[in-house]
Every structure is written in structure tokens, then in C-alpha cells.
Amino acid sequence: MAGQRARGKSLVIAAVGWVVAIWIFFPIFWMFLTSFKGEAGAIATPPRLFFVPTLESYHEVFQRANYWRVTFNTLGVSIGATVVALLFSIPAAYAMAFLPGKRTRGTLLWMLSTRMLPPVGVLVPIYLIARNTHLLDTVTGLALVDMFTNMPITVWMLYTFFREIPVPILEAGRMDGANRWQEITRVLLPLATPGIASTALLSMILCWNEAFWSLNLTSSNAAPLAAFIASFSSPEGLFFGKLSAASTLAVAPILAFGWISQKQLVRGLTFGAVK
């Protein structure tokens, strides 16, 4: 009886899981299909599920824009912002986790609160700062902004991971003669590698998908993939085929990346919660 009920319960949970997963995945799936339909097929009503695939949209996308360049820009922004964010976040999270002061808690919450602000609220000052420092439309400028907006999250995540490291292990390192630097690099970081990897992954994904600042702070030189997609939506009206092809091209790398690293990512994001 109890076994049957438990089985029934797990079936329901599985079913709900599938519904949610399909619900979330459907737009991506539809975009993928549309990208192979060509412009005429893309706007056909009723939409067709079965059709003869064509690469026509992709051809046009590659002709109209420099896909490799924008991908390269995106990579630069994502990797650059992530690496620099980690360089600052690791010492910050270390201090907060192991040497907390009276204001640590408050500082953490304050950092997080900056994420609650709508970015558009600081668009003008940031735009002006970027312009005056000649960082407009540069990979460096966009990477800097992405880094700052993501740092609250990377610090929080690392803080949570570091808190899971047993303090006596670090103290043992200190007893063994490790100075602060050695304690971090030789003891803490190797132990926290899974956490740091998850944090890096998440930061990469956030930078990759970031659109607001990409659209506002870059134009031709430093345009990342988000701007690349957007460039297919505007002036001459909507061309769903090309838009879908561009979007597919833009999300494919990060999707593949996420797929490969999903185990790490899930473990990282649920760390502490389930353990």
C-alpha cells in the first residue's frame, strides 16, 4: 500500500517535471525549428511541424553579420568578466566566511540589494562614465560592467561554498606554517574547486546572456551575441527565419557548454540546500 502510494507520488512528480521541462524548452525548440524553415515557412499559418529544412536563413545571417567576431567578443566579455570577478570575489568571500566582522552580514545583503535595482536606473551614469573613460563599445568596458553586476552573485556563491569548508582544516594549515596566501591557494582553493567551478560557470552564463548593457554600451566594435540577435529584429521589420537562425547561433555554444557541465552546475546551485 505504502509502496504503491509512494510510486504513485513519484509518477506524479515525474509527470509534473516533464510538463515544466517541456514548457520551458518549447520556445527554444520552436526557435530551432524556425531557423530551418526559411522566411516563408517561418510565418506560415498554421505553423508547420514537418517541413523540408533549409539553411537559407543561416546563409543570410552569415552574410549580413560577422558571427565569428561577435562570438569572439562574447567570449572575451564572458571569460574576462568571470576571471576578474573571481580574482576579487575569492578574497572577499574568504574574508566574509572566515574573518567575519560586525558588518559582514550587512555588507553581504547590501551587495545583493544592488541586484534588485533595475539596471536602467543607472543607465545614464554608467553610460556617461563609460563614455568619459573611452570604454564605450569596447570589450573591456562591457566586461567591467558585467563583472560588477555579477560580483554580488559570485561573492555570495563563493561565501556559501567556503562556509562549508571545515575551519579546522584551514587552521591545520596555519599550524603547519602556511601564511594567508598559502592557506588560500594550497588548502582552501583545492578544497573549494567544485564550488569555484560552479561559480565560474554561472558567471559565464550570465555574461553570455546579458543583453541590457550589451545593447546600450556597444555598437559595432564590441557587439556581443545579444546585440547580434537584436540586429536581426529591427529596421526592415521582423524576419523570423533569420532572427531564429541568429538566436540559435547565439545560444548554441552556451547551451552546449551548459549541457556538458550540467552535473557540476546542478551540484553547485543546490549545494548546501541538499548536500
Binding residues (CB under 8 A) for another protein: these are 166, 168-169, 171-179, 182, 186-187, 190-191
Contact 268, 199 (CB under 8 A): yes
Cell numbers describing residue 166: 571545515
Nearer to another protein, 104 or 233 (CB): 104
Nearer to another protein, 132 or 179 (CB): 179
Q: Taking the complex as a whole, how short is the minimal distance between the CB of residue 105 and another protein, in angstroms?
A: 15
Residues 6+ apart with CB under 8 A from 31: 244, 247, 248
Report the run of H or E that residue 222 belongs to, with start and end: none
Q: For residue 227, which of 215, 210, 238, 245 has the smallest C-alpha distance?
A: 215
- Cα separation, 222 vs 212, in Å, equals 14
Cell numbers describing residue 184: 588560500
Q: Taking the complex as a whole, how short is the minimal distance between the CB of residue 154 and another protein, in angstroms?
A: 22
Nearer to another protein, 146 or 183 (CB): 183
Nearer to another protein, 119 or 173 (CB): 173
Q: Taking the complex as a whole, how short is the minimal distance between the CB of residue 94 and another protein, in angstroms?
A: 17
Q: Taking the complex as a whole, how short is the minimal distance between the CB of residue 275 and another protein, in angstroms?
A: 16
**Residue 266: HSE in the Cβ half-sphere, 13 Å Cα cutoff:** 5
Nearer to another protein, 125 or 168 (CB): 168
Q: Taking the complex as a whole, how short is the minimal distance between the CB of residue 184 and another protein, in angstroms?
A: 14
